[in-house]
Structure 1
């Protein structure tokens, strides 16, 4: 993760108030995490860093595209993504990131690395089912879709079964109606 030093925010020298940091995320960022689900990425990340006297607030916004295969046809396409993440940074005795919304840094800390939060935001912003836009609008023309249509089950009318019951049950039913 040594390649991700550009995502360090040194907050000791910053004045109280709002500060804006902007980053461009590409495939190299994900290679640092050994994440290979995306063939390419073109994502802009804006971080609004608000420094207050005792706490700091981060608002991270990511928007852009990732180049991924379609889950239905395996055709490559650019999936648009957008996401936001709010994070509060407090100071305590030791580092603690157990809570996903609150980060506790030791009192002697002078900077915070936000690369992990950007990574999680982007990965969680990707839809769980990635479908090529041409599949949705019906203009996709691929071998995989043709094969799926061939293998699709045809709806048939349900066949009614003859009502045949066991004669022993019929005798029991007679007992109920003989009251």
Structure 2
């Protein structure tokens, strides 16, 4: 089980200059965040925090893999993750996130990077994720083909278009 407390960085305690952090995240990390998109995976996170007075530059390198559902057959598939992201932090009176700048409450001085790691990981997943050809669940592919708008013979099913809509196709806009 991942200790989410280890993902909370006490910015005030960091020395001037660069401080490295390493995290190994597994299924427990994703389960603890209670997200719906990614629920399993193994990630290695390298975080380098560079402190200059009360300004912090955080550089994340995340690599590994997560399990996501295939858009075609809905079986789980492994999606490789390899991403570099940057985040800046400073102290202020109230917590806020503006683009790539996080303002941390100065009295607390703690920055929880767990959600940022999750967001960087999720943003690295392609919009469309499909198994390699021939790797999808064959039973699901067969069902999809049975219910497809085109038959295996290549003939398309006739679409009965509402005549009111069909009349619109005859309209032409002239310049």
TM, length-normalised to structure 1: 0.72
In the TM superposition, residue 147 of structure 1 has moved relative to its aligned partner by: 3.5
Contact preservation (8 Å) 2:40, 2:66: yes
More helix by share: 1
Unaligned runs of 5+ in 2: 157-175
The 8 Å contact of residues 31 and 39 in structure 2, kept in 1 or not, is answered as: no
Q: Are 1:142 and 2:138 counterparts?
A: yes
Q: CA deviation at 1:39?
A: 4.8
Q: CA deviation at 1:74?
A: 2.0
Residue 162 (structure 1) aligns with: none
Farther off after superposition, 140-149 or 117-126: 140-149
Using a 3 Å threshold, how does the CA distance of structure 1 residues 48 and 140 change in structure 2: closer, same or farther? same
The runs of 5 or more residues in structure 1 that have no matched partner are 157-179
Q: Which residue of 1 aligns with 2:131?
A: 132
Q: Structure 1 residue runs of 4+, over 4 Å off?
A: 138-141
What displacement does 1:138 show? Answer: 4.2
Shift, 1:141, TM fit: 6.4
Q: Distance in 1 between matches of 2:44 and 2:108?
A: 27
Q: Residues 67 and 109 (structure 1 numbering): CA distance in 2 closer, same or farther, change over 3 Å?
A: same
Spell out, residue by residue over 1:122-154, the C-alpha distance to the aligned partner (whole angstroms, 9 max, x if none).
Answer: 222222222112xxx446561222333453523
TM-score (norm 2): 0.74
Alignment partner of 1:115 is 2:114: yes
Tell which structure's C-alpha radius of gyration is larger: 1
2:168 corresponding residue in structure 1: none
User: How many residues end up aligned between the 2 structures?
Assistant: 151
Q: Secondary structure at the match of 2:34?
A: coil
